[in-house]
C-alpha cells in the first residue's frame, strides 16, 4: 500500500491501547479505575498557570529562539547547579515540546544505520522504538527484581561493541520505580571513555524529584560525556503543556538545533514562560504532591502484597509498582485486558517494557487514595471470582 517499513514495523505503545479500551468501556457506561497511565492526577500548580496567563496577557505568543527562551535555559542551568552541584552552559540546553521530541532528535543525531544503544530489560517502552525508528539497534541488558532492577555495570561492559553509541539509564525508572545507586551510576559513567567519543551515557531524568527513599543523581555529577533528558510533565503535573528539554555535549547542540528549526521551529512560547515559574516558584506545590504520592505508594504496595502479588523490593521513586503476575497467568497481556474487562481496573502488561517484562504487571499510583482503595477492592473480588 506504499506505507514505509518503519511506519509499519513500529510497535504500539500498549499502555495507550489499554487506556483507549478503558475509555471505550467508560463511554459505554462502565466504571474504570485507572492504574495504567503514568499521568499525575493533580492540577498544574497555580503559580505555573498564572505565569502562562501573564505571558498571554503580555502577548508573548510568538516564536521563541529555536533552542528555547534564554530565560528558561538559564533557569534549567540554575536548577542543575542548585540541585546537583554541576555547571551547565545554557547554550547546551535545547527546549522541546515534551521530552519525547528531544529524545527523537537526540537519537537522530547520534545514530547511523546499525549503531547500537544499550537499554535495560525491562525499560521504558519507547526507548527501543525510537532507536529502531532512526535505524539503530537496541541491545538489551537484563535487570532482575532480586537486584532491585538495577544495572550491573559488568553486564553492560560485556555487551559493548565498536558500534555502541549510547547507554541509556533511567533513575528513577519506568516501569520499576527503582533508583540506580550512585556507585553503579559512577561505574556506568566510566564505561563512557572520552569527552567527545562514544559511547555516551543517555540519562532520562524525567522522574527526578519524585523520590521517597534514597537520593537521585544526575549523570552530570559523574561525566560530561552524556546526554540528559528532562521535562516538566511528571514533577509539575504539566503533561498537557508539552514541555521538555535535553542537555547535550557542546558539539551536538548545533545539529540538534538545525533539526529542531526544521521540524518544530520552537517549543510553545506560553509553556516555556510557565516552565520558568515551575522551576522557581512551585517547590511548595511539589512537596505537597510528593507527600501524597508517598502515601499512595505505601498503600498500593501493601495492598498488592496482601492480594498475593510478589514485590520483592519496594519501589522508591517515580509512581509505579512493577509486580509479578505469572502465578495467575503467564500471558500478562491477556491478563491485563481480562482484568480490565471483568474488574474494571486498567493496568499495564509488562511486555510493553521489553522481553524482561513478560509475566509482570505495572500499576501506577498517580491516582488518588480513594480510587486506589476501590481498585484493590475490585481486584480482590476479581481474584476470588476467577482464581479462588
Domain shared by 276 and 332, yes or no: no
Domain that holds residue 131: 61-282
Same domain, 185 and 334: no
Q: Are 379 and 307 in contact (CB under 8 A)?
A: yes
Q: In the chain, how many domains are there?
A: 2
8 A C-beta contact, residue 112 and residue 350: no
Dist CA 61 CA 265 (whole Å):
14
Nearest to 40 by CA among 337, 286, 284: 286
Same domain, 114 and 227: yes
Closest by CA to 323, choosing from 301, 345, 344, is 301
Query: How would you classify residue 364: left for phi > 0, otherwise alpha for psi between -120 and 50, otherwise beta?
Result: beta
Same structural domain for residues 70 and 186?
yes
Residues 197 and 237 in one domain: yes
Beta 244-247 vs 93-96: how paired, if at all?
antiparallel
Which element (helix H / strand E) includes 259?
helix 250-263
Sign of CA dihedral 248, 140, 212, 271: positive
Phi, psi (deg, nearest 5) at residue 62: -105, 175
pLDDT at 197: 65
Q: Are residues 232 and 359 in the same domain?
A: no
Element (H, E) at 339: helix 332-343
**At which of 261, 282, 303 does a domain end?**
282
Q: Does residue 268 sit within a domain?
A: yes
| CATH number reported for the structural domain that contains residue 70 in this entry | 3.40.640.10
Establish if 54 belongs to a structural domain.
Answer: no
C-alpha cell at 83: 540541585
> Contact at 8 Å (CB) between 95 and 225?
no
Q: Which of 282, 306, 329 is the last residue of a domain?
A: 282
Which residues partner with 203 through β-bridges?
169, 228
What is the arrangement of strands in the sheet containing 226-231, beginning at the earlier edge strand? 93-96, 244-247, 226-231, 200-204, 164-170, 116-121, 137-142
* Nearby residues of 49 by Cβ (< 8 Å), 6 or more positions away: 274
Walk along the chain (388 residues) and give the pLDDT tens digit of each residue.
Answer: 689 988 888 988 999 999 999 999 999 999 999 999 999 999 999 999 999 999 999 999 999 999 999 999 999 999 999 999 999 999 999 999 999 999 999 999 999 999 999 999 999 999 999 999 999 999 999 998 888 899 999 999 999 999 999 999 999 999 999 999 999 999 999 998 765 567 999 999 999 999 999 999 999 999 999 999 999 999 999 999 999 999 999 999 999 999 999 999 999 999 999 999 999 999 999 999 999 999 999 999 999 999 999 998 899 999 999 999 999 999 999 999 999 999 999 999 999 999 999 999 999 999 999 999 999 999 999 999 999 7
In sequence order, which residues have a C-beta less than 8 Å from that of residue 337 and are 6 or more positions away?
A: 18, 21, 349
Residue at a domain's end among 282, 309, 331: 282
Residue 148 near residue 177, CB atoms below 8 Å = no
Can the peptide bond before residue 157 be classed as cis, meaning omega within 30 degrees of 0? no
Q: What are the backbone angles phi and psi of residue 61, rounded to the nearest 5°? A: -115, 20
Same-domain check for residues 94 and 192: yes
Q: At what angle do helices 369-387 and 283-306 cross, to 10 degrees?
A: 20
Question: 189 in helix, strand or coil?
Answer: helix
- What the block records as the C-alpha cell of 131 is 532507536
Same domain, 92 and 219: yes
Query: What is the dihedral angle through the alpha carbons of 244, 247, 252, 254, rounded to the nearest 10 degrees?
Result: 60
- The verdict on 25 and 166 lying in the same domain is no
Amino acid 239: pLDDT: 96
Residue (of 38, 123, 13, 42) closest to 364 by Cα position: 38
Residues 30 and 84 in one domain: no
String of DSSP letters for 48-102:
HHHHHHHHHHTT--S---TT--HHHHHHHHHHHHHHH-----GGGEEEESSHHHH
Q: Are residues 238 and 360 in the same domain?
A: no
Q: 21: burial class by Cβ within 10 Å (0-12, 13-18, 19+)? A: middle
Whole-angstrom Cα distance, residue 13 to residue 233? Answer: 18
Amino acid at each position: 500500500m506504499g506505507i514505509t517499513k518503519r511506519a509499519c514495523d513500529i510497535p504500539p505503545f500498549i499502555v495507550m491501547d489499554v487506556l483507549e479500551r478503558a475509555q471505550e468501556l467508560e463511554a459505554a457506561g462502565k466504571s474504570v479505575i485507572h492504574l495504567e497511565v503514568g499521568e499525575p492526577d493533580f492540577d498544574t500548580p497555580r503559580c505555573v498557570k498564572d505565569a502562562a496567563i501573564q505571558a498571554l496577557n503580555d502577548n508573548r505568543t510568538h516564536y521563541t529562539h529555536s533552542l528555547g527562551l534564554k530565560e528558561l535555559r538559564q533557569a534549567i542551568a540554575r536548577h542543575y547547579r542548585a540541585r546537583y552541584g554541576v555547571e551547565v552552559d545554557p547554550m547546551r540546553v535545547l527546549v522541546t515540546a515534551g521530552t519525547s521530541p528531544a529524545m527523537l532528535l537526540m537519537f537522530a543525531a547520534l545514530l547511523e544505520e546499525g549503531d547500537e544503544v544499550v537499554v535495560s530489560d525491562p525499560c521504558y517502552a519507547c526507548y527501543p522504538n525510537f532507536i529502531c525508528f532512526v535505524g539503530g539497534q537496541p541491545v538489551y541488558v537484563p535487570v532482575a527484581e532480586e537486584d532491585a532492577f538495577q544495572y550491573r555495570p559488568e553486564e553492560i561492559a560485556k555487551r559493548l561493541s565498536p558500534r555502541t553509541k549510547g547507554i541509556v539509564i533511567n533513575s528513577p525508572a519506568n516501569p520499576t520505580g527503582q533508583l540506580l545507586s550512585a556507585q553503579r551510576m559512577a561505574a556506568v559513567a566510566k564505561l563512557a571513555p572520552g569527552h567527545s567519543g562514544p559511547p555516551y551515557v543517555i540519562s532520562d531524568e524525567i522522574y527526578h524529584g519524585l523520590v521517597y527513599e534514597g537520593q537521585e543523581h544526575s549523570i552530570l555529577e559523574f561525566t560530561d560525556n552524556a546526554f540528559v533528558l528532562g521535562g516538566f510533565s511528571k514533577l509539575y503535573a504539566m503533561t498537557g503543556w508539552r514541555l521538555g528539554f535535553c542537555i547535550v555535549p557542546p558539539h551536538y547542540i548545533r545539529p540538534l538545533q538545525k533539526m529542531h528549526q526544521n521540524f518544530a521551529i520552537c517549543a510553545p512560547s506560553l509553556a516555556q514562560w510557565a516552565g520558568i515559574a515551575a522551576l522557581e516558584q512551585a517547590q511548595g506545590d511539589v512537596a505537597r504532591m510528593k507527600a501524597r504520592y508517598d502515601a499512595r505508594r505505601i498503600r498500593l504496595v501493601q495492598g498488592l502484597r496482601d492480594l498475593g502479588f510478589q514485590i520483592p523490593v519496594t519501589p522508591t521513586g517515580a509512581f509505579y509498582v512493577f509486580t509479578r503476575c505469572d502465578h495467575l497467568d503467564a500471558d500478562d497481556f491477556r491478563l491485563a485486558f481480562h482484568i480490565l474487562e471483568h474488574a474494571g481496573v486498567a493496568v499495564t502488561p509488562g511486555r510493553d517494557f521489553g522481553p524482561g517484562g513478560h509475566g509482570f504487571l505495572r500499576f501506577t499510583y498517580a491516582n488518588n487514595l480513594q480510587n486506589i482503595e476501590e481498585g484493590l477492592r475490585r481486584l480482590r473480588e476479581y481474584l476470588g471470582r476467577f482464581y479462588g
